Amino acid sequence: MKDFINNDDILRALATVEEPDLKKDLVSLGMIKDIVLGVGSVKFTVVLTTPACPLKDLIRQRCVDAIHKHVSPTLDVQVEMTANVTSARSGEALLPNVKNIVAISSGKGGVGKSTVTSNLALALAQTGAKVGLIDADISGPSIPVMFGAENAQPEVMQIDGKNYLVPIEKYGVKLLSIGFLTPAEQAVPWRGPMMSSALRQFIGDCYWGELDYLLIDLPPGTSDIHLTLVQTVPVTGAIVVTTPQKVALADAQKGLNMFRQPNINVPILGVVENMAYFTPAELPNNRYYIFGQGGGHAFAEHYNIPYLGEIPLVQRIRESGDEGRPVALDESSQMSAAFAGLAQQVAQQVALRNANAEKTKVVEIKA
Ligand SMILES: Nc1ncnc2c1ncn2[C@@H]1O[C@H](COP(=O)(O)OP(=O)(O)OP(=O)(O)O)[C@@H](O)[C@H]1O
């Protein structure tokens, strides 16, 4: 052991610790900050790529072990963990302060896409991330009800003489939905171009401020809205929500193929299996695979995409959506844990995608 320890000794030790996902060492990834040496102690900060990092505790322990091994076994090591969500965007005119735009899609209607999106948004926000959610299901918006914000009315704000809509903020998530702008009882017949123009306004004429993740709840299937989204902003990645049964998976495949078309080319962050099994409230350990078992895993494997997690079919999930207080807000339930796990997986895939894949470009489709 050296008599005198300096910052370089600490950095050399930490350079032996690999970020398990990114497969590079913490020092060359620029993740180590603010080293403070004291008498018999060292303090430093590890800046993670997301506050939802599932490997937080593992990384912390490896840092402590590395310093004990390479610097001194008796040094008191204090590791502070913070996060700075990464982005593959820069210098774009639209949504310049939004780090990641994540599209949530489903092949079939009614598979629980909006339920998953709402709970995912809340679970990400609970980790400390700044989260926004656009309800792009213009002809069937369900986000206002799920967030208990049916009567909310976005305000208008002027910046440099231009009017911007200000998203509603509920449970720590910024929200925008056509449901805030048209009365629920008013049936609006939307034509494709009107829906596309509404989505463009939600993106371009709204004041979103700084966000780590902006989730876009797309309509089911493939539509004009999907094309408008990818033609308006570069999408970080897409998530596909499906149920395990064959018909849902067949439709999910179509959605996947749309994002994978060479001229669209949006990275797929993974698949979420909703209603993976039924669990009755009185028998919480029982699982009934009423829509079949293993479909989501097989789908992920076949298309070589990450399996982000499974959400059970539970009455409480439906009730909490109808009550306007999604289940992710419940304290320590099996369901809120499922969504917290999903948020970790999504954040991890976004970080991996930003580290490894090229920037997504705005799609130009020639008529
Ligand atoms: N895991 C679940 N457990 C219980 N109920 C669920 C679950 N997921 C979704 N639901 C319920 O199923 C119904 C449909 O869900 P949701 O509206 O989220 O689906 P969707 O795929 O967004 O629908 P759409 O195709 O209309 O956009 C809702 O009543 C919702 O509460």
CATH of the domain at 148: 3.40.50.300
What's residue 362's pLDDT? 86
Do 75 and 143 have their domain in common? no
CA of 113 to the centre of ligand 1 (A): 6
CA of 116 to the centre of ligand 1 (A): 8
Domain termination residue (choose one: 19, 48, 83): 83
CA 86, CA 364: separation in Å to the nearest integer? 25
The ligand 1 atom at the shortest distance from the C-alpha of residue 316 is 4
CA 23, CA 113: separation in Å to the nearest integer? 32
The residue range of the domain holding 20 is 7-83
CA 161, CA 112: separation in Å to the nearest integer? 40
Mutate to test the pocket of ligand 1, among 115, 143, 289 (most ligand atoms within 8 A of CB): 115
Best CA proximity match to 51, nearest among 82, 29, 80, 87? 82
Do 69 and 110 have their domain in common? no
CA 249, CA 259: separation in Å to the nearest integer? 16
Per residue of the chain (367 residues), give pLDDT as tens. 566 889 999 999 999 999 998 889 999 999 999 999 999 999 999 999 988 888 899 999 999 999 999 999 999 999 999 999 999 887 788 999 999 999 999 988 889 999 999 999 999 999 999 999 999 988 888 999 999 999 899 999 998 899 999 999 999 999 999 888 887 666 667 777 778 888 999 999 999 999 999 999 999 988 888 989 999 999 999 999 999 988 888 888 888 998 998 888 899 999 999 999 998 888 888 999 999 898 899 999 999 999 999 999 999 999 999 999 999 999 878 899 999 999 999 999 999 999 887 887 888 766 5
Q: What is the CATH number of the domain that holds 48?
A: 3.30.300.130
CA 150, CA 144: separation in Å to the nearest integer? 5
By three-state DSSP, how is residue 215 classified?
Answer: strand
**C-alpha distances in angstroms, 234 versus 70, 212, 300, 359?**
44, 15, 24, 8
CA of 132 to the centre of ligand 1 (A): 20
CA of 6 to the centre of ligand 1 (A): 56
3-state helix, strand, coil in the chain (%, to 5): 35, 25, 40
Residue with tokens 């310093």, as numbered in its chain? 67
Among protein residues, the one whose CA lies closest to atom 28 of ligand 1:
318
Do 43 and 177 have their domain in common? no
CA angle 58, 62, 68 (to 5 degrees): 150
Among protein residues, the one whose CA lies closest to atom 8 of ligand 1:
112
Domain termination residue (choose one: 24, 51, 83): 83
Do 122 and 187 have their domain in common? yes
Do 189 and 331 have their domain in common? yes
Where does ligand 1 bind, in terms of residues with CB under 6 Å?
A: 106, 109-115, 137, 140, 142, 220, 274-275, 311, 313-314, 317-318, 321
Q: Is 110 left (phi over 0), alpha (psi -120 to 50) or beta?
A: left
Among protein residues, the one whose CA lies closest to atom 16 of ligand 1:
112
Q: Which two tokens stand for residue 73?
A: 């076994």
Do 133 and 158 have their domain in common? yes
The predicted complex's ipTM stands at 0.98
The ligand 1 atom at the shortest distance from the C-alpha of residue 220 is 25
Domain termination residue (choose one: 83, 106, 129): 83
- Number of domains comprising the chain: 2
Domain assignment of residue 2, yes or no = no
Do 106 and 71 have their domain in common? no
Among protein residues, the one whose CA lies closest to atom 25 of ligand 1:
109
Binding residues for ATP: 107-114
Best CA proximity match to 87, nearest among 277, 343, 298, 353? 353
Q: Which class for 178: exposed (0-12), middle (13-18), buried (19 or more C-beta within 10 A)?
A: buried
